[in-house]
Structure 1
């Protein structure tokens, strides 16, 4: 299953979602991330968190969701929005008929303060996204009916930390 995690800036939550789903679901899912108005760079707080966890961030970058609409783009099976503004925007048409889910979380990139405060917000976001990814990956989504999977995705989106 190809999953596209969307947020407006594609610098924090969606990047973390891409990494988490990719690490927890190899062989079952391929994760990507993008934004409607990409910032052009991964947030330093996300980079610090990944480095602290020993995760190579070399291949990550902030990109437009239009990257996934062209004829050479991978077919997306599931689009997950992780911020309210991206969820409310008119998404482009992705080839096929992907499922859609909203797993809204507060934006750690909006946290002001010293690095420790920002890092704590990113760590919390990591934990909430991991909880959602684990719940999703515990499902037999490969064999579920579309309507049932859609309902379970909504339940996952309402888990702790939902914004």
Structure 2
């Protein structure tokens, strides 16, 4: 979801990519709530993050506690930001209840990406 918002909000000179220590497909509920926001992430795929990948980055944003705790050591030349968000993939309940969680997290991510885009543009 963060990648989808960032690609919409950031200058096209930025290379935006999702990455993790494990490659996963996009959660269907994430696709659904992002479609509600007018952004199609159905073709997105995360990349595997490693030290070579990190060394090419200017900025790394981790989402949720698991990402912060398990992300490889970020080089000192790379700015790192952590957003301690709930992992919506861990939401329990029926689909309607889980969609509420996905929507809440989507809205939090959108606000944070907007703020980050403003911060980086003002520099």
Q: Do both share a fold (TM > 0.5)? A: yes
CA distance in 2, matches of 1:93, 1:138: 24
After superposition, the C-alpha distances for 1:96-128 in whole angstroms (9 at most, x for unaligned) are 821001111011111111211111111111111
- Where structure 1 has 5 or more consecutive residues not aligned to the other structure, the ranges are 1-15, 145-163
Q: Which residue of 2 aligns with 1:137?
A: 117
Q: TM-score, structure 2 length as denominator?
A: 0.82
Secondary structure of the equivalent of 1:102? strand
In 2, distance between residues paired with 1:138 and 1:121? 26
Partner of 1:81: 62
1:101 matches 2:81: yes
Deviating above 2 A after TM superposition, structure 1's stretches of 4 or more consecutive aligned residues are: 26-30, 50-59, 141-144
Alignment counterpart, residue 3 of structure 2, candidates 4, 18, 34: 18
> Unmatched 5+ residue regions in structure 2?
none
The correspondence of residues 10-159 of structure 1 with structure 2, limited to 5 A, is: 16-27=1-12, 29-38=14-23, 40-66=24-50, 69=52, 75-91=56-72, 97-139=77-119, 141=120, 144=123
Aligned length: 123
Q: Deviations over 1:6-58 (max 9, x none)?
A: xxxxxxxxxx11111111113353321111123x2111210111233342224
Q: Is the 8 A contact 1:21 1:30 kept in 2?
A: no
Distance 1:90 1:111, change over 3 A: closer
Secondary structure (helix, strand or coil) at the match of 2:99 reads helix
Higher helix share: 2
